[in-house]
A = this chain, B = another copy of it.
Amino acid sequence: MFGRTEKKVSADMVSASHRLLYKGGYVRESTAGRYYFLPLGWKVFNKIASIVREEMNKAGAQEMIAPVLHPLELWKETNRTNEAGFELMRIKDRRGSEFALGGTAEEMFVDLVRKYQLSYKDLPFNIYQLSTKFRDELRARGGLLRVREFVMKDAYSFHVDEEDFKKEYENMRTTYMKIFNRLGLDPVVVESDNGYIGGEYCHEFVVESDAGESKFFVNEDRSYAAHEDVAKFIKYKDLEPEDMKPREDVEGVGMIGVAPLAQHLKIPVEKTTKTLLFETEKGEVVAAAVNGIYDINEAKLKKILHCTDLHLTNADKIKELTGSEVGYAGILNLPSSIKVILDDSLKGRMNFECGANKTNFHSININFGRDLPEPSEFYDIAMAKEGHLCIKGGTLQEKKGIEVGNIFQLGYHYSKLMKGADFTDRDGKRKPYYMGCYGIGLGRTMATIVEKYHTENSITWPETLAPYDYEIIGIDMDKPEAYEKANNLYNKMLSEGKDVLFDDRIKTTAGEKFADADLIGAKEKIVVSQKSS
């Protein structure tokens, strides 16, 4: 067998899957985030791929494959070349044609389908591929957990309308659970945000793990699970009705944090307001405000603003716009050029504090309708935290996990942006497809399985994934008698068609062989030595 176990691991291999897949001779890095799968790793990978295929096919999806290089014009049709958030790689060929190295393949599948000029009778269908995807990530980390090149199963479904899509969504949701369960995983189905429509039909499959980068919240009975970017919670409300008090501007220099501020102003912290000024990629400046006991969730804010990039406005610009030094921003006295987004934790509040946009001053006893116009709209831009009240009962608990798959409603997003992506309906009219998409990262799934099924120095693959059914561990292989015994058994098992590995190394100690066998994780280990009968 080519590839071998390694004894030393480098210090940057912090996750167990990174360390054990390297030590076991499953994978090896080429450049950062780009991996070879060695014969042992490729065997396991293909077992995972087979299970994904089997379940997808059973669910009625059809496998095909699209080219790796996508004509860049297609990505231009959907404005995805301009989205700063997407790590797209581009290449030009010798004739000057431009291509994207596929990160996902919505455009490619829509382009293929629109060529067919289908009718409602051809719908619905779900087509998928297992293919290499590219993401020009700034940082790769954690071995197979975050890479720049990986095999993804990506499926795209085409429907006459939303109702039909919903059936396939449920079909995929149950199919995904079957797939992950067969792989020994029990992911949480987490509400999330795909940047398109979101809401009810957008979920990530997240396996709880400290090695993961996905933060999400669940309540005690798990009737609610949502990604931190979208997690909702029941917000604090003043219990007692109050009378309006007279507004005051109170001096308070260099207060960091709402707690010291509240203490200084002699008000409950629940009366404070956190206001931050952001700038979008288009240069628009936005004032976002939440009750001081909460933080602002930039993902929620981005979604409301339909922007791809958001950063804090710098001190100079704040001074220029509000006339005040940084640290005293509020929703009072703002120039009309600044858009104001208020969290619904401000709704119905009375006598609250907020920055006066006046250096060194904070205003208290502010009231809508008197000090500020009554806002026409409130939004949810607050960050959920452990302990917040869950909208489905109980309290939120924060969890970390690895996103191994996702199922997304695309709706008309692509079919409306891409000309001619329509079908003939019963009424003879051309209508855009209603779409969904469904992804599974295969390498990351493999690493997640290791995160779950390992000890310090071994991987215990679920039975269906073990790279070998049997491993013969030959001891005393320098003694002809022992070698012959082991080799005879090996040949016998091979001739019986058994999936068996034979460790016939001579200069390796029994201890090393047992350690290696633990890393390789065959279903059954058979020890043959001089003493074996």
A122 to B1, CA, bound (A): 9
A94 contacts which of B30, B111, B138 (Cβ < 8 Å)? Answer: B138
**Is A87 positioned at the interface, with any CB of B under 8 Å from its CB?**
yes
**Is A282 positioned at the interface, with any CB of B under 8 Å from its CB?**
no
**Is A101 positioned at the interface, with any CB of B under 8 Å from its CB?**
yes
Quick check: B65 and A2 within 8 Å, CB to CB?
Answer: no
A87 to B93, CA, bound (A): 10
Quick check: B36 and A66 within 8 Å, CB to CB?
Answer: yes
Quick check: A68 and B1 within 8 Å, CB to CB?
Answer: no
Quick check: A36 and B112 within 8 Å, CB to CB?
Answer: yes
Distance to closest chain B CB from A23 (angstroms): 14
Q: Which residue of B lies closest to A158 (CB)?
A: B2
Quick check: A64 and B91 within 8 Å, CB to CB?
Answer: no
Residues in B whose Cβ lies below 8 Å from that of A41: 64
Q: Mark A62-95, 1 if CB is under 8 A from B, else 0.
A: 1111111111000000000000000101110111
**Is A532 positioned at the interface, with any CB of B under 8 Å from its CB?**
no
**Is A184 positioned at the interface, with any CB of B under 8 Å from its CB?**
no
A28 contacts which of B95, B115, B127, B132 (Cβ < 8 Å)? Answer: B115
A31 contacts which of B3, B90, B97, B136 (Cβ < 8 Å)? Answer: B97
Quick check: B62 and A36 within 8 Å, CB to CB?
Answer: no
Give the oligomeric copy count: 2
A313 to B233, CA, bound (A): 80
Q: Mark A20-52, 1 if CB is under 8 A from B, else 0.
A: 000000001011001111110110000000000
Quick check: B87 and A91 within 8 Å, CB to CB?
Answer: no
* Count of A interface residues, CB-CB < 8 Å: 48
Quick check: B91 and A30 within 8 Å, CB to CB?
Answer: no
Distance to closest chain B CB from A25 (angstroms): 10
Quick check: A91 and B94 within 8 Å, CB to CB?
Answer: no
A67 to B149, CA, bound (A): 7
**Is A4 positioned at the interface, with any CB of B under 8 Å from its CB?**
yes
Quick check: B62 and A37 within 8 Å, CB to CB?
Answer: no
Quick check: A64 and B93 within 8 Å, CB to CB?
Answer: no
**Is A278 positioned at the interface, with any CB of B under 8 Å from its CB?**
no
A68 to B68, CA, bound (A): 10
Task: Tell me which residues from 417 to 444 in chain A have a Cβ below 8 Å from any Cβ of chain B.
Answer: none
Decide: A39 near B63, CB < 8 A? Known: A93-B89, A94-B138: yes
Distance to closest chain B CB from A290 (angstroms): 34
Quick check: A64 and B39 within 8 Å, CB to CB?
Answer: yes
Distance to closest chain B CB from A259 (angstroms): 41
A136 to B69, CA, bound (A): 12
A134 to B134, CA, bound (A): 15
A63 to B43, CA, bound (A): 8
A97 to B137, CA, bound (A): 13
Decide: A2 near B62, CB < 8 A? Known: A89-B93, A91-B89, A132-B132: yes
Distance to closest chain B CB from A107 (angstroms): 10
A135 to B81, CA, bound (A): 24
Residues in B whose Cβ lies below 8 Å from that of A378: none
A91 contacts which of B35, B62, B91, B138 (Cβ < 8 Å)? Answer: B91
Quick check: B149 and A35 within 8 Å, CB to CB?
Answer: no
Decide: A65 near B42, CB < 8 A? Known: A28-B112, A108-B30, A116-B4: yes
Quick check: B62 and A1 within 8 Å, CB to CB?
Answer: yes
Distance to closest chain B CB from A47 (angstroms): 13
| Residue of A4, A68, A71 contacting most chain B CB atoms (<10 Å) | A68
Decide: A34 near B89, CB < 8 A? Known: A64-B39, A127-B2, A138-B94: no
**Is A236 positioned at the interface, with any CB of B under 8 Å from its CB?**
no
Residues in B whose Cβ lies below 8 Å from that of A91: 89-91, 101
Q: Which residue of B lies closest to A99 (CB)?
A: B31
Q: Which residue of B lies closest to A127 (CB)?
A: B2
Residues in B whose Cβ lies below 8 Å from that of A127: 2, 39
A4 to B118, CA, bound (A): 10
Given A30-B66, A39-B127, A42-B64: 11 more A-B contacts, CB < 8 Å? A2-B64, A2-B125, A30-B112, A34-B69, A37-B65, A39-B64, A68-B132, A69-B148, A89-B91, A91-B101, A132-B132
A selection of 15 A-B contacts at a CB cut-off of 8 Å is A28-B112, A28-B115, A30-B111, A31-B69, A31-B97, A34-B69, A37-B64, A39-B64, A41-B64, A42-B64, A67-B149, A68-B68, A68-B132, A68-B134, A68-B149
A-B residue pairs, 10 tightest by C-beta: A34-B67, A39-B62, A91-B91, A2-B125, A37-B65, A30-B67, A42-B64, A94-B136, A39-B64, A31-B71
